[in-house]
Structure 1
Amino acid sequence: MSRPFVLVAAVVAALILGAAMGMLISTARGDGADAPPSAESVDVGFAQDMRVHHLQAVTMAGIERDRTSDLNLRGIAFDIESTQLSQASEMSGWLTVWVQPSLPAAGAGHMAWMSEGGTHSHSNGAGGKTTGPVQRMPGMASTDELNKLRKLSGAELDTYFLQLMLRHHEGGSEMAQYAAQHASKGYVRNLAEKIVTSQTSEMNLMKSLLAQRGAKPLPLS
């Protein structure tokens, strides 16, 4: 069996398993309350926004996995791709059981669930802070940046991937930290905590790999 086929099969398996686990966990555990979280809750907002955030990471990791000649980075990219795809699928399973859309309402923006009635500030996706919704979540790559990543090769590809993914993790960690503290469902808090832990470890590794290449992290946007 060829390696590309094995990698694709593993990603598909992660997708199916994640969705199934999300639906199973959310139906089997009540966490003291049978009612699903509301559309305005931290739980729903986190699941919708982090799912979108994760899927971009999956896209970037897939580009690196397919194009890099660095076996270490190929393994790192595959780990990020499979883990975040599985988690995105798990969150999709929650939203299905909660009878909530997989995406925020059109034009509603992102991260309004982090506002706490306008008293909590969070990144605005442009290097500043806000207490309201944002149109671009922190750490998200632009279309131009993704197109640039697709065109690079060799050492330039690897360095730019590390820069984009490090910034992406930094933005996602802010949302995960908030959900780990404020989500109403225990299984949501548990996944958010896992995201914080795993991405902190990956960020430290990516910073080290960038330093080895004489490159600096990108500023958080």
Structure 2
Amino acid sequence: MTAPRRVRRVRWAVGSAAALALLCAGAATVAAARDDGAGHPAHHAAGAPGTPAADSADAGFARDMAVHHQQAVEMSFVVRDRTRDEEVRRLAYDIANTQANQRGMLLGWLDLWELPKTTAGQEPMGWMAGGGHEGHAGHAGHAGHAGHAGHAMNGADGAGSAGSGHRAHDEPLMPGMATRAELARLRAASGRTAEVLYLRLMTDHHKGGVDMARGCARLCAVKAEKRLARGMVAAQQSELDAMADMLKARGAKPRP
């Protein structure tokens, strides 16, 4: 990807425009989620035919990936302000836009299914139990966080931005997620240092996201959600390849 010599700076829309995008994304998937949920009684909540149960893979993936995506959006907004490199800014814009849109779909499904967006007493990634985590050595450190504290939807702690929908931890909440210390380093960096750190953190983040999406593609029952998961795998793998090239161009490599 080579940026043209004269590139218009993309205006990053937040507030009402972002909220509208999320609402539209969720609304666009309501009918598909309702229709596709039928025919899978093992995943249905009692008294709500066609609806996944709260402890199903469908609901677990929607909750966990919504949190996972929100951190990617947050990191992308951070790097926007820490570099003037148009190539990195364009990648960050694409990731923020895509993952905010997908997050809207996931939260919209939970609303449609009348299921909670937070689950006290359940470990993140518990829905993948028995399905197997695929690789990602060194970044599966989600154990030991009791009660899904990171899934509070009322904003992040002092290390995060307002309304981020997750709390950064000293250890990753889910595969690939950045820690509080790593996010602080990204906010303090600038120029090439910020670019390399963002690309490395987002590479880890995408690897964890790909593992989660593959889990849903295997375990989820709702066809629309399985299709979304497969699309995430393809898109994020393409971005992983692009980020490897961008790191190489900066004399750096992904973290081992």
Judged with a 3 Å threshold, the aligned counterparts in structure 2 of structure 1 residues 155 and 46 are, in CA distance, closer, same or farther, namely same
Select the residue among 124, 147, 156 that pairs with 2:184. Answer: 147
Partner of residue 26, structure 2 = 19
Q: Secondary structure at the match of 2:227?
A: helix
Quote the Cα distance in structure 2 between the aligned partners of 1:215 and 1:6. 28
- Structure 2, unaligned stretches of length 5 or more? 1-7, 41-48, 146-172
1:40 aligns with 2:77: no
Q: Which amino acid aligns with 1:154?
A: G
1:35 alignment partner, SS class: strand
Q: Which moved more, 1:46-55 or 1:94-103?
A: 94-103
| TM-score under structure 2 length normalisation | 0.75
Contact 1:19 1:91 in 2 (8 A): yes
Q: State how many pairs are aligned.
A: 213
Q: Summarize the Cα distance change of 1:96–1:206 in structure 2 as closer, same or farther, 3 Å threshold.
A: same
Say yes or no: does 1:112 pair with 2:126: yes
Residue identity matched to 2:89:
R
Correspondence for 2:133 = 122
**Are residues 1:55 and 2:61 paired?**
no
* Counterpart residue number, 1:184: 221
SS in 2 for 1:7: coil
CA distance 1:134–1:47, change in 2 (3 Å): farther
Match among 200, 214, 239 for residue 163 of structure 1: 200
Structure 1, unmatched stretches of 5+, are none
Query: RMSD of the TM alignment (CA)?
Result: 2.6
1:210 alignment partner AA: L
User: Match for 1:79: what amino acid?
Assistant: D
8 A Cα contact 1:169 1:199, kept in partner: yes
Cα displacement (A) at 1:66: 2.9
Indicate yes or no: 2:113 matched with 1:98. Answer: yes
Counterparts in 2 of 1:133 and 1:152: CA distance versus 1, 3 Å: closer
Q: Deviations over 1:99-134 (max 9, x none)?
A: 11112x224211111112xxx43279882779x966
